[in-house]
Amino acid sequence: MDNIKRRTLLGIGTLGVAALASPRQLYAAALSAGETEIALWPGDQPPGGNGPQGPERTNAKGSVTNVSRPRMVVYRPQRPNGSAMLVIAGGGYTHIERGSESIPAARWLQALGVTVFELVYRLPGEGWINTAPFQDGQRAMRLIRAAASKYELDAKRIGILGFSAGGHLAGTTAAEPDLPRYAAEDMVDQFSARPDFAGLIYPVLTFMPSYDNTHSRREIIGKHPDLAESEAFSVERHVGARMPVTFLAQAADDPISPIQNSLLMFNALKAAQIPAEMHVFQEGGHGWGLGPEGSLVHAWPALFETWARHNGWFGS
């Protein structure tokens, strides 16, 4: 246990130095250090709409909008352990919080020996159909599986990690990996989109009343959906035997995604007899990424690593 904590803190400590750079500098440094990008769709032609006009935009905090080229950024560790994770930032499906969520998480996992694929996905309000993010999630998982030998991955240790709306995207991908969201493009689409394990961090999961006052719900199904639409995109309503082992972490005082999101999901997992672990922190709010140093929620990365190693996802 002490060794696990040291490894986790070392990874987070390395990020503390990197955090002094701007998100743009971090991204440029990632590519120059050998990370590569993988386009999700052949010819950069995604299905479902024409997308936004103009170039992709990244603000000073590393929040991304105007996504016309969905892709993954690959973070390869110096000593890979054979595990891989698809990491997905949130942002209410209106932007993608790369700077505060997916880039730091990718660096942390990379330091643990995990090969990380950071997802930059399409946003429905930018000219894409409302299921575009879910198409990207499925396609990304299939691409990772298709490239398992190239990246020396254990095909039975490929997970998914999502924050906030990214937790909704990760949870949806995990709960409904076989739902046909797009016509097959190539041989990649013969691979499974099911992750072997899932981490959902302060996730938005339910679109059902009375916990449905979120940007995520409005962006995906509008301001006045009927109950059938709400249920169709509520992750906890689709948990079944194919759902992978799941880790949940959320603060009890979350003002954006009510704690009932995790509680409902945990109960659905237990009802389906899916192994699950949940951590509810007394306080912490929303959008904490890896968690500010000294806060209660700062404990979650070490808890996640312990859980992952206990289940064999990161090795013993």
For residue 17, the SS3 value is helix
9's tokens: 């803190």
The DSSP annotation for 47-67 comes to SSB---SS--EE-TT-EEE--
In whole angstroms, give the CA distance from residue 271 to residue 265: 10
In whole angstroms, give the CA distance from residue 76 to residue 33: 10
Question: Which region among 16-25, 120-129, 202-211, 241-250 has the lowest average model confidence (pLDDT)?
Answer: 16-25
Nearest to 313 by CA among 134, 114, 175: 114
SS3 content of the chain, % helix, strand, coil (to 5): 40, 15, 45
47's tokens: 């299905």
For residue 75, the SS3 value is strand
In whole angstroms, give the CA distance from residue 75 to residue 55: 24
pLDDT band for 106, please (50, 70, 90 cuts): very high
Which residues does 283 contact at the CB level (< 8 Å), separation at least 6?
Answer: 251, 252, 253, 296
Residue 315's pLDDT is 76
Which pTM was predicted? 0.90
Strands 36-39, 96-97: pairing kind:
unpaired
Is 87 within 8 Å of 55 (Cβ atoms)? no
Nearest to 306 by CA among 85, 27, 93, 6: 6
Residue 73's pLDDT is 97
Residue pLDDT, tens place only, 136-168: 999 999 999 999 999 999 999 999 999 999 999
Kindly report the average pLDDT of the chain as a whole number: 91
Which residue in this structure is represented by tokens 């924050």?
A: 163
Residue environment code for 296-310, b if the CB has 16+ CB neighbours within 10 A, otherwise e: bbbbbbbebbbbbbe
User: Is the model's pLDDT at 9 over the cut of 80?
Assistant: no
Strands 115-120, 197-201: pairing kind:
unpaired
R_g (Cα) of the chain, nearest Å: 18
Residue pLDDT, tens place only, 43-91: 888 998 889 989 999 999 999 999 999 999 999 999 999 999 999 999 9
CA angle 52, 54, 56 (to 5 degrees): 80
Is 173 within 8 Å of 195 (Cβ atoms)? yes
Residue 138's pLDDT is 98
In whole angstroms, give the CA distance from residue 242 to residue 232: 17
